[in-house]
């Protein structure tokens, strides 16, 4: 029982920390700008203005992920990591596609060639069309920001990530977060379908002063949370 307590305690801690991580990541994606990947592709082909591509306000999300203080470093890191991800996925596909060649070295060589060719094509497609399928076998389209969402989770470092977000908030607003208080209030209403005895549940709600908790055969629960720091 002690070992089971330890196991489930560890699982609970993991889910709790992951929840905070996902909330921070989605906040960053909602409130900070990212590079226009198509604009970068246009610039590499000789068009567009480099100043627009490498402005800090156009790559805030990349700075949060990669923390380079020079703009080209963040852009290069994002491009390289996306290409590396596409190469890994496409090479895995290549191993499946060429598995019948027999010789392991021949299979590996063909898979690598397949991976490089298709990864380059994926980068062009991502720039021109705005999205690319996760793989040949998983038809889920990913945009540039979807890739950054994944990298935010992969580069998990809550304290440093939060410090970069606060630095950008201070830069954009001129407000020092250390000198300001924050207050948040949230309301949640959830429900479950009652399979039996809705009248009993309604009666309990009436006794407790919550007669409207049962509606159309569903039991509703309302909670409010307030937090400040």
Measured CA to CA in angstroms, residue 34 lies from 27, 39, 58, 105 at distances of 13, 11, 5, 41
**Which pLDDT band, with edges at 50, 70 and 90, does 203 fall under?**
low
**pLDDT for residue 83:** 93
Q: What is the pLDDT of residue 201?
A: 56
Q: What local confidence, expressed as pLDDT, does residue 80 receive?
A: 92
Are 35 and 78 in contact by the 8 Å Cβ rule? The answer is: yes
194 versus 121: the higher-pLDDT residue is 121
User: pTM value?
Assistant: 0.69
Whether residue 108 is predicted with pLDDT greater than 70 in this model: the reply is yes
What band does 121 get if pLDDT is binned at 50, 70 and 90? very high
| CA dist 113 → 93, 108, 118, 120 (Å) | 11, 9, 9, 11
* Least confident stretch, 67-71, 121-125, 193-197: 193-197
- Please state, in angstroms and rounded to a whole number, the distance separating the CA atoms of residues 70 and 27: 24
pLDDT at 42: 73
Whether residue 49 has pLDDT greater than 60? yes
CA nearest 127: which of 209, 41, 199, 201? 41
Q: Which of 184, 190, 196 is nearest to 223 (CA)?
A: 190
pLDDT of residue 87: 93
Instruction: Quote the mean pLDDT of the chain.
Output: 82
- Please report the pLDDT score of residue 183 as a whole number: 85
pLDDT digits 0-9 by tens, 126-182? 988 889 998 888 888 999 999 999 898 888 776 788 889 999 999 999 988 888 888
State how far the alpha carbon of 28 is from the alpha carbons of 143, 204, 223, in Å: 16, 43, 26
Strand duo 218-228 + 214-215: pairing: antiparallel
Could you tell me which of 44, 38, 131, 122 has the C-alpha nearest to residue 88? 122
The answer to whether 82 and 147 have CB atoms below 8 angstroms apart is: yes
What three-state secondary structure class fits 141?
A: strand
| Range 28-55 average pLDDT | 77
* Cα 100–chain centre separation: 37
* 54 C-beta neighbours (distance < 10 Å), count: 17
Q: Is the pLDDT of residue 118 over 90?
A: yes
Distances (CA, A) of 139 to 59, 119, 131, 136, 203: 28, 16, 12, 7, 50
pLDDT band at 67 (very low <50, low <70, confident <90, very high): confident
pLDDT band at 51 (very low <50, low <70, confident <90, very high): low
The pLDDT confidence band at residue 190, using thresholds 50, 70 and 90, is: confident
DSSP E strand boundaries for the chain: 131-133, 141-143, 183-193, 214-215, 218-228
Burial of 65 (0-12, 13-18, 19+ CB in 10 A): buried
């Amino acid at each position: 029982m002690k070992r089971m307590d330890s196991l489930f305690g560890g699982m609970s801690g993991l889910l709790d920390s992951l929840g905070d991580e996902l909330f921070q990541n989605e906040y960053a994606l909602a409130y900070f700008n990212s590079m226009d990947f198509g604009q970068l592709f246009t610039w590499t082909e000789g068009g567009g203005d480099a100043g627009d591509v490498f402005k800090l306000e156009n790559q805030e999300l990349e700075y949060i992920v990669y923390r380079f203080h020079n703009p080209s470093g963040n852009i290069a890191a994002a491009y390289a990591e996306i290409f590396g991800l596409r190469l890994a996925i496409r090479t895995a596909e290549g191993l499946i596609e060429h598995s019948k060649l027999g010789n392991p070295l021949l299979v590996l060589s063909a898979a690598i060639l397949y991976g490089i060719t298709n990864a380059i094509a994926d980068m062009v497609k991502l720039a021109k069309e705005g999205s690319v399928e996760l793989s040949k076998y998983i038809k889920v389209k990913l945009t540039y920001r979807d890739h950054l969402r994944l990298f935010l989770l992969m580069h998990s470092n809550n304290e440093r990530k939060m410090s970069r977000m606060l630095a950008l908030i201070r830069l954009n607003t001129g407000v020092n977060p250390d000198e300001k208080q924050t207050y948040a209030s949230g309301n949640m209403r959830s429900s479950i379908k009652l399979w039996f005895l809705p009248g009993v549940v309604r009666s309990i709600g009436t006794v407790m002063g919550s007669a409207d908790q049962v509606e159309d055969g569903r039991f509703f629960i309302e909670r409010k949370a307030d937090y400040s720091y």
